[in-house]
Amino acid sequence: MSQMGRMYGIIRKVVISEKASQLTQYQQCYAFVVAKDANKAEIKSAVETIFSVDVVAVTTVNVRGKVKRFRGRLGKQASSKKAYVRLAAGQTIELSTS
């Protein structure tokens, strides 16, 4: 896999939630779902390369999948890994496409 392909493989998707939008608005912090085997250095270089910004800090969280019921049967949601990325002052990432 190419270097750019690995960068896009690390960053899976952007988390869009109430908590994530408040972090973006007040603390210059963005949330991403990332690959489970990615470390903080890889996440930092991927965000800097893809979005052309300066990353100050990366915090990662392993999220355990919840046990849910669907039509009376037990199931389990997939576990994932989130990264909270803090940018340098004055920098933003444009997340909306409209």
Structural contact between residues 30 and 82, judged by C-beta atoms closer than 8 angstroms: no
Distance between CA atoms of residues 37 and 35, nearest Å: 6
Domain total in the chain: 1
Domain presence at residue 93: no
Q: What is the CATH number of the domain that holds 78?
A: 3.30.70.330
The reported pLDDT for the residue numbered 95 is 76
Domain presence at residue 73: yes
pLDDT average per 10 residues of sequence, the chain (98 residues): 82 93 91 95 95 95 94 94 95 75
The reported pLDDT for the residue numbered 94 is 85
Domain presence at residue 95: no
Q: Domain of 43?
A: 3-87
Distance between CA atoms of residues 17 and 44, nearest Å: 22
Distance between CA atoms of residues 43 and 53, nearest Å: 13
The reported pLDDT for the residue numbered 6 is 83
pTM value? 0.86
